[in-house]
Structure 1
């Protein structure tokens, strides 16, 4: 305090406004020491954020299992890094890193920099852990509050006193797709016991289709309900449909399973395969018929292409891939683009193009370019731009269209993308608008198919043939 007083006096004597300069200089010095002592700038944190940080800190202190898991997380994180990174982590107490997780969660990183010094780069890496911890803290707080309410009511407490979310439980039968009505029979969701069971289910389905013809399992109404209220990304078994040639990496075509689940992408949270997929339940009614699968996924079936189907045990794969999955709605894909590729596709851009109206116009322009042979020699943004230059679109509209093409190229939301979480049905024999509920996936670690196979996280059905 004496040092701050002396420095403030010195600065004040040299200024034209003694009182104001003295006050500002003194307060600045006091604040700097406060920040150094607390590890964060209190003026950058709201009262609510402090409450949340305290709640999370109490959880760590009061819950031994959570305490142990967080310390193990720090240990595992350090051991997984380069030797230099291990030194950086070892140079800071584990609790300081846990404090960083908490402060990053409640402030978005604003309040944690002073606490970790040279470890500032860890904030982004720990943000996901902090988000999960924050959700856990809020849920725990809610449970405690409800417990107090029940205790206060004594024996008069009843379930009707509890807060409840409004939900709709809809059950469907195996033939609800014919009339689009919700059935009163048992739920028809198919959940394999394991990867071997998944293959058996598909084999049985093929016999059924061969004998009775193909009928989609879910109606449009049911698919819309699943897209709106369900979460197929959380299903344990997912499926990925791709050309067989992609199973081996183009640089190592002779190395079995050197390919990956999709095209590599570098985002803010990592580098790995980016791809679109759906759950096993959504696609199993089409068996392994590449024509039926293509049509359900809104794709154009090419009889000259060899296709494969990958069944993924996401429970076994996620620890290796670090996969991030979002349902394919305008809102979710926009947020994904803003978060992972903010320089290429900022919110100011997605707010304009990720709408039904703009998507319809993009689809129209893309198909017009395709029909005109714009992509005969090369599929690229420049070729699409050449087509746009033949239209009467304004300069700003052409720029948006070209950037939308680049988003199509990078993320994969193509000209048939609907933006409601569903694929377009391209099967002319089925009187439905939609095919399946789909997800956009981003593996934040570079992992090839061979590594997934070694972990028994995938099973591959190559060389698919139509029924």
Structure 2
């Protein structure tokens, strides 16, 4: 997610938008862009919006996800060092899923990460860190290309900055249909 001005030069070109946000583009797929109007009273629905740096994500995870992940493991995995390792692990995890004819997004509510970890890693610490990092990815984002400095990677090229990211944690989220119904978002087919 980013601000409109970060994406407006890409217009409605799905390939350019994907590159700007470091997302893989598949010309065989259809894409949709949502423009969200947070309005003047966005604080009323209990959401927090911030630039997702390693420091900001660690703080948010320690407060909003208290009890789900220990502060110690959050510090171990939400940093530049582990981020580089996770990128490699995520690649192997996706290969593992592909061999099973599954997609990465189908792994969020299943035990694939646990099964992969038990077969890929040799010790409990590595298993715990991978599963915890994958949990963060599935809950709030921070993909394998997460840089921790608030910028995306342009076209997934390490070190080449893309758009400024923002992360919104909604405490009482509405569904896409509810947002469309109340005209709080615009859906654009790309």
TM-score by length of 2: 0.83
Cα drift, residue 392 of structure 1: 5.1
Mapped to 2, the partners of 1:444 and 1:408 lie a distance apart of 18
Cα drift, residue 323 of structure 1: 2.3
CA 1:376–1:343 in structure 2 vs 1: closer, same or farther (change >3 Å)? Answer: farther
Given the alignment, which residue of 81, 86, 105 partners 1:362? 86
Mapped to 2, the partners of 1:318 and 1:449 lie a distance apart of 16
Given the alignment, which residue of 32, 51, 56 partners 1:308? 32
Higher relative contact order (CA 8 A, sep 6+): 2
More helix by percentage: 1
Cα drift, residue 366 of structure 1: 1.4
CA 1:319–1:427 in structure 2 vs 1: closer, same or farther (change >3 Å)? Answer: closer
Equivalent residues of 1:321, 1:447 under 8 A apart:
no
| Structure 1 residue 376 corresponds to structure 2 residue 101 | yes
Please report the RMSD computed on the Cα atoms of aligned residues, expressed in angstroms: 2.6
Q: Which runs of 5 or more structure 1 residues have no equivalent in the other structure?
A: 1-276
Q: Which runs of 5 or more structure 2 residues have no equivalent in the other structure?
A: none
**What SS does the corresponding residue of 1:447 show, helix, strand or coil?**
coil
Counterpart in the other structure of 2:115: 386
Equivalent residues of 1:286, 1:292 under 8 A apart:
yes
Equivalent residues of 1:337, 1:346 under 8 A apart:
no
* 1:1-400 to 2 correspondences below 5 Å: 277-316=1-40, 318=42, 321-372=45-96, 373=98, 376-377=101-102, 379-380=107-108, 382-391=111-120, 393-400=122-129
Mapped to 2, the partners of 1:375 and 1:317 lie a distance apart of 46
Given the alignment, which residue of 444, 448, 453 partners 2:175? 448
* 1:422-441 to 2 correspondences below 5 Å: 422-426=151-155, 433-441=160-168
Cα drift, residue 304 of structure 1: 2.9
Cα drift, residue 454 of structure 1: 5.3
TM-score by length of 1: 0.36
Deviation string, structure 1 residues 245-288 (Cα, Å, up to 9, x no partner): xxxxxxxxxxxxxxxxxxxxxxxxxxxxxxxx100111111001
**What SS does the corresponding residue of 1:310 show, helix, strand or coil?**
strand
Count of matched residue pairs: 185
CA 1:340–1:453 in structure 2 vs 1: closer, same or farther (change >3 Å)? Answer: same
Mapped to 2, the partners of 1:420 and 1:355 lie a distance apart of 10
Counterpart in the other structure of 2:139: 410
Equivalent residues of 1:290, 1:307 under 8 A apart:
yes
Mapped to 1, the partners of 2:41 and 2:100 lie a distance apart of 36
Cα drift, residue 339 of structure 1: 1.1
